[in-house]
A and B are shown apart, each in its own frame.
Chain A
Amino acid sequence: MTAVLPRRRLAALPATPRYLAGRIGQSLLALFGVVTIVFFALRLSGDPARLLVPEGATAADIARVRARLGLDDSLWHQYTTFLGHAVRGDLGYSYVQNRPATDLLAERLPYTANLAVAALVLSLLFGVTAGAITALRRGRWQERVLMPIVLAGQAMPAFWTGLLLVLLFSVGLRWLPSTGYDGPLSLLLPSVTLASLSAAAIARVTRGAMLEQLSQDYVRTARAKGAGTWRLVTRHLARNTAIPVLTVAALELANLLGGAVVTEVIFAWPGLGQLTVQSVAARDFPVVQAIVLLASAVYVVVNLATDLLYGVIDPRVSSGGDHP
């Protein structure tokens, strides 16, 4: 029955080489599954050759394009060829731009990475602070002010937040540029937009974890020994609340990468999100495959790294203790 243990318990197993190998294997398997699903789903979506030929092209023209792109081969042949190349880091040529898909990605990646990292930093800053304050100041005005903001943040879809920010700061006050990328100021609105949802999620998890810890005996002991709130937070609570906060932050990364699509469209941000929308519309298979592979790889690697970090933060995890 060991093979069917739920995931949560696996995460609590000791970080032995064997466990590590298992986790890495699992991640690779998940990536392989993703690539396979996406490959076949795309092939079902329609003929890209039709979209590539100019208006009024003959059936023979379309057939020629299909042959050139290798779309005439059997699905199985296309799939094995794709896998063979992908393993060597070759993700094919863009049908539309006639350049390697990896080049296109490399060109766009810095913009999205900038945006996602800025958003993650913002959401951690706001989320952890707000979560800690609402937990420590339960029932006081700080909680009454911050909790509605957190709840509202959770119910605001990224694209509406973005529109409101543009309306207020670009159209109304004319303080900030609304679209495109010119200089660090233009990063402000998109990253706040993208951060809003994750910040709320992180705040709620931080608050929950803090409240849980605050009712523990060691907190009472520390207080009895005269520890002030600051010392209590930095010396005792930070470590004990880090695991849930880290977990949700890693999960939020997936939302950031997904939310980046809408955010980039609103702010005409020249990143991967816009490339995704364009490539999907043009049925540019190699580029779509490359983007999905990249996004999933980032996600899987971050979650793997988080699992391994547990052991560093909380020694009980790696000593195999029964940490819940």
Chain B
Amino acid sequence: MKRLTVPVAVLGLYLAVALLAPLLAPDDPNAVTLAQRLLPPQAHHLMGTDALGRDVLSRTMYGTRVSLLVAAAAVIVAGVAGVALGMVAGWRGGWLGAVIMRVVDSVLSVPFFLLAILVVAVLGPSLVNVVVCLAMVRWPRYARVAYSTTLQTRGRGFVRAAVATGAPGRWIVVRHVLPEVLPVAIVVGTLEFGLMVVYEASLSFLGLGVQPPTASWGSILSDGQQYIATAWWLATFPGLALFVLVLAVNLLGDAARDRLDPARRAAVTRRRLLRRAEPAEVTA
């Protein structure tokens, strides 16, 4: 897994910046100095300053905290809720399962960013509400995979054997079904993490996310749009920070999926074998 060294290192770097932001940031992210407004990048302000004279590098560093925190919390809340509900639906079936899965279908049939905007509008914009909103919109993704994995597992020999020995349902679910569901849910969670970073930033960009003066990449970029004709640095650096993070997370997610998915794994091995045996096979 050599190709994962860089993404892991990038993720580590972001984590370090988030944790050590107060030590690493050259400036107070919220210190308003109107005399220094909209300065282009220079020695004292490597990423320039914003309309209130605040240091963009410091604000971008503090923005890392918001991004990682919101994305991690959203993935965990949505994942736990989705896995629990999906497993209940798959294990119990019946009217309860049917109701849960119809709600899943309904939520998944609304373009989810629209739904996210709606939920934030209902709850009011704040850090906690962004997490709640993303979790409410994304749990069905986990519920669906948990549901189908539970159904598949329910019919397998070791679960039937456990049922036959009279083990209590709750015990079987935790001991036998959960270990099958968990890896799948973790892969979905990794793939979702990058998406959550993007959607937190999008909500903040629309003014529906974390509220000022707290620094968030989305809200800095929103300023960037306002001053796009004069201050290019506002519209570029926080976006770059976001882009690199999401790229690294996506690469990890892909790798996790490849490791897990037996069909894909088989296809990769088959292709490797083929390539070794007949190098001219795939290209023409």
**Interface set of A (CB-CB < 8 Å, partner B):** 1, 3-4, 6-8, 26-27, 29-34, 37-38, 41-42, 44-46, 136-140, 151-152, 154-160, 163-164, 166-167, 171, 178, 211-212, 214-215, 220, 223, 228-229, 232, 254-255, 257-259, 261-262, 265-266, 276-277, 280-281, 283, 288, 291-292, 295-296, 299-300, 303
Is there an interface contact between A288 and B118, defined as CB atoms closer than 8 Å? Answer: yes
State A81–B281 Cα separation when bound (angstroms). 65
In addition to A136-B284, A157-B242, A215-B274, 9 A-B residue pairs with Cβ atoms within 8 Å of each other are A27-B109, A34-B110, A38-B110, A151-B247, A157-B198, A160-B242, A220-B281, A295-B110, A299-B110
Instruction: Tell me if B251 counts as interface (CB < 8 A to partner A).
Output: yes
Q: Report how many residues on chain B are interfacial, defined by Cβ distance under 8 Å.
A: 57
CB distance from B140 to the nearest CB of A (A): 11
B247 contact set on A, CB distance < 8 A: 151-152, 155
Whether A157 contacts B202 in the complex (CB less than 8 A), given A166-B228, A171-B229, A266-B225, comes out as: yes
B98 contact set on A, CB distance < 8 A: 3-4
Is there an interface contact between A163 and B225, defined as CB atoms closer than 8 Å? Answer: yes
B101 contact set on A, CB distance < 8 A: 4
Pick out which of these stretches binds chain A: B167-175, B182-190, B232-240. Answer: B232-240
A295 contact set on B, CB distance < 8 A: 110-111, 114
Is there an interface contact between B102 and A29, defined as CB atoms closer than 8 Å? Answer: yes
Is there an interface contact between B117 and A277, defined as CB atoms closer than 8 Å? Answer: yes
Is there an interface contact between A45 and B121, defined as CB atoms closer than 8 Å? Answer: yes
Query: Which B residues, 102 to 132, have Cβ-Cβ distances below 8 Å to chain A?
Result: 102-103, 105-107, 109-115, 117-119, 121-123
B242 contact set on A, CB distance < 8 A: 157, 160
B265 contact set on A, CB distance < 8 A: none
Ordered nearest first, which 8 A-B pairs have the shortest CB separation? A33-B106, A258-B113, A160-B239, A45-B122, A155-B247, A258-B111, A155-B246, A6-B148
Q: Which of B107, B148, B206 contacts A265 (CB 8 A)?
A: B206
Q: Which of B106, B123, B221 contacts A34 (CB 8 A)?
A: B106
Which residue of chain B has its CB nearest to the CB of A277?
A: B206
B112 contact set on A, CB distance < 8 A: 254, 258
Which residue of chain A has its CB nearest to the CB of B201?
A: A157
Which residue of chain B has its CB nearest to the CB of A143?
A: B283
For A152, A276, A303, which residue has the most chain B Cβ atoms within 10 angstroms? A276
Is there an interface contact between A137 and B283, defined as CB atoms closer than 8 Å? Answer: yes
B206 contact set on A, CB distance < 8 A: 261-262, 265, 277
Is there an interface contact between A257 and B271, defined as CB atoms closer than 8 Å? Answer: no
Q: Which of B106, B202, B236 contacts A164 (CB 8 A)?
A: B236
Query: Which B residues, 228 to 284, have Cβ-Cβ distances below 8 Å to chain A?
Result: 228-229, 232, 235-236, 239, 242-243, 246-247, 250-251, 267, 270-271, 274, 281-284
State A303–B201 Cα separation when bound (angstroms). 28
B107 contact set on A, CB distance < 8 A: 34, 37
State A141–B33 Cα separation when bound (angstroms). 50
B147 contact set on A, CB distance < 8 A: 6
Instruction: Tell me if B63 counts as interface (CB < 8 A to partner A).
Output: no
A136 contact set on B, CB distance < 8 A: 282-284
Q: Which of B110, B202, B235 contacts A262 (CB 8 A)?
A: B202
A212 contact set on B, CB distance < 8 A: 267
Is there an interface contact between A261 and B122, defined as CB atoms closer than 8 Å? Answer: no
For A30, A266, A291, which residue has the most chain B Cβ atoms within 10 angstroms? A30
Is there an interface contact between A138 and B282, defined as CB atoms closer than 8 Å? Answer: yes
A229 contact set on B, CB distance < 8 A: 284
Is there an interface contact between A33 and B105, defined as CB atoms closer than 8 Å? Answer: yes
A139 contact set on B, CB distance < 8 A: 283
State A285–B259 Cα separation when bound (angstroms). 46
Is there an interface contact between A164 and B110, defined as CB atoms closer than 8 Å? Answer: no
Q: Which of A6, A281, A291 contacts B121 (CB 8 A)?
A: A281
CB distance from A295 to the nearest CB of B (A): 5
> What are 25 residue pairs bridging A and B, where the CB atoms are less than 8 Å apart in the complex?
A4-B90, A6-B151, A27-B109, A33-B105, A34-B106, A34-B110, A38-B110, A38-B118, A41-B122, A42-B118, A136-B284, A151-B251, A154-B250, A155-B194, A159-B205, A159-B221, A163-B235, A171-B228, A211-B267, A212-B267, A258-B112, A258-B114, A276-B117, A283-B121, A295-B110
Is there an interface contact between A41 and B118, defined as CB atoms closer than 8 Å? Answer: yes
State A70–B76 Cα separation when bound (angstroms). 40
Is there an interface contact between B267 and A167, defined as CB atoms closer than 8 Å? Answer: no
CB distance from A182 to the nearest CB of B (A): 18
Is there an interface contact between B114 and A292, defined as CB atoms closer than 8 Å? Answer: yes
Is there an interface contact between A257 and B114, defined as CB atoms closer than 8 Å? Answer: yes
State A178–B251 Cα separation when bound (angstroms). 33
CB distance from A21 to the nearest CB of B (A): 17
State A292–B116 Cα separation when bound (angstroms). 11
CB distance from A129 to the nearest CB of B (A): 17
A265 contact set on B, CB distance < 8 A: 205-206
Is there an interface contact between B117 and A157, defined as CB atoms closer than 8 Å? Answer: no
CB distance from B21 to the nearest CB of A (A): 22
Which residue of chain B has its CB nearest to the CB of A163?
A: B235
For A137, A155, A171, A265, which residue has the most chain B Cβ atoms within 10 angstroms? A155
